[in-house]
Structure 1
Amino acid sequence: MHVWEEKIRISGPYDFNQVLRRLSIDPLHSIDHTKRIIKVPIYVHHKPMVVTVQGIGTIDKPIFLLQGEEEEVKEAAIERVCEIFHFKTSITAIHEHFQGTDLQHIFVEHYGTPLVLDFDPYSCLLKCIIHQQLNMTFAHTLSERFVKTFGTEIHGAWFYPQPAQLAHLQVEQLRELQFSGRKAEYVLGIAKKTASGELDFNRLKTMSDEAVFNELIKIRGVGPWTIENFLMFGLGRPNLFPKADIGIQNALRKQYNLDRKPTYEEMEQYSKEWEPYLSYASLYLWRSIE
Structure 2
Amino acid sequence: MQHEFYWNPPAPTDLPGMLKRMRSAGQDVLYRLGENGLQKALSWDGRPVLLTVQEEGTVTKPCWHIEVAGPELPPDWQERAIAYLSHVFCLNFDLPAFYQFCRQHLPLAALVERFYGQRMILEPTLYEAAISSIIAQQLNLSFCAQLKRNLLVRCNCQWHWEGVDWLLFPEPQQLVRLTAEDLRLLKFSRSKAEYVLGVAQATATGQLNWSKVETMPEQEAMSYLISWRGIGRWTAECILLFGQGRSDLLPAADIGLRNAVGQLWGLGRQATEAEVREIGEGWRPYRSWVTHYLWLSLTENSGKDL
Q: Structure 1 CA distance, aligned partners of 2:215 and 2:47?
A: 21
Find 1:88's aligned residue among 89, 92, 99. Answer: 92
**Structure 1 position 186 matched with structure 2 position 208:** no
**Structure 1 position 230 matched with structure 2 position 239:** yes
Q: Where does structure 2 lack aligned partners over 5 or more consecutive residues?
A: 300-306
Instruction: Spell out, residue by residue over 1:260-282, the C-alpha distance to the aligned partner (whole angstroms, 9 max, x if none).
Output: 32122321222122111111111
**Counterpart secondary structure, 1:233:** helix
Q: Conserved in 2, the CA contact under 8 Å of 1:41 and 1:119? A: no
**Structure 1 position 53 matched with structure 2 position 53:** yes
Q: Conserved in 1, the CA contact under 8 Å of 2:133 and 2:239? A: yes
Q: Spell out the pairing of 1:73-152 with structure 2 (5 A cutoff).
A: 73-74=76-77, 75-101=79-105, 102-152=107-157
Runs of 4+ displaced beyond 4 Å = none
Q: Structure 2 CA distance, aligned partners of 1:93 and 1:46?
A: 38
Instruction: Spell out, residue by residue over 1:217-259, the C-alpha distance to the aligned partner (whole angstroms, 9 max, x if none).
Output: 1110001101111111101111111011111111112212333
Judge which range, 13-22 or 269-278, deviates more: 269-278
Q: Percent identity?
A: 31
Q: Spell out the pairing of 1:56-67 with structure 2 (5 A cutoff).
A: 56-67=56-67
Q: What corresponds to 2:6 in structure 1?
A: 7
Q: Structure 1 CA distance, aligned partners of 2:74 and 2:184?
A: 42
Change in 2 beyond 3 A, CA 1:135/1:62: same
1:103, distance to aligned residue in structure 2 (A):
1.5
Q: Where does structure 1 lack aligned partners over 5 or more consecutive residues?
A: none
**Structure 1 position 289 matched with structure 2 position 293:** no
Q: Structure 1 CA distance, aligned partners of 2:223 and 2:266?
A: 36
Q: What corresponds to 2:250 in structure 1?
A: 241
1:134, distance to aligned residue in structure 2 (A):
1.4
Change in 2 beyond 3 A, CA 1:40/1:200: farther
Q: Conserved in 2, the CA contact under 8 Å of 1:213 and 1:227? A: yes
| Counterpart AA for 1:61 | K
Q: What corresponds to 1:169 in structure 2?
A: 178
Q: What corresponds to 2:302 in structure 1?
A: none
1:191, distance to aligned residue in structure 2 (A):
0.8
Quote the RMSD (CA, aligned, Å). 1.9
Q: Structure 2 CA distance, aligned partners of 1:112 and 1:151?
A: 37
Q: Spell out the pairing of 1:17-36 with structure 2 (5 A cutoff).
A: 17-24=16-23, 25-26=25-26, 27-34=28-35, 36=36
Q: Structure 1 CA distance, aligned partners of 2:263 and 2:153?
A: 37
**Counterpart secondary structure, 1:72:** coil
Change in 2 beyond 3 A, CA 1:234/1:60: same
| Counterpart AA for 2:37 | I
| Counterpart AA for 1:51 | L
**Counterpart secondary structure, 2:152:** helix
Q: Structure 2 CA distance, aligned partners of 1:160 and 1:140?
A: 13
| Counterpart AA for 2:276 | M
Q: How many residues align?
A: 288
Q: What corresponds to 1:44 in structure 2?
A: 44
Change in 2 beyond 3 A, CA 1:163/1:169: same
Change in 2 beyond 3 A, CA 1:19/1:123: same
TM-score (norm 1): 0.92
Change in 2 beyond 3 A, CA 1:142/1:213: same
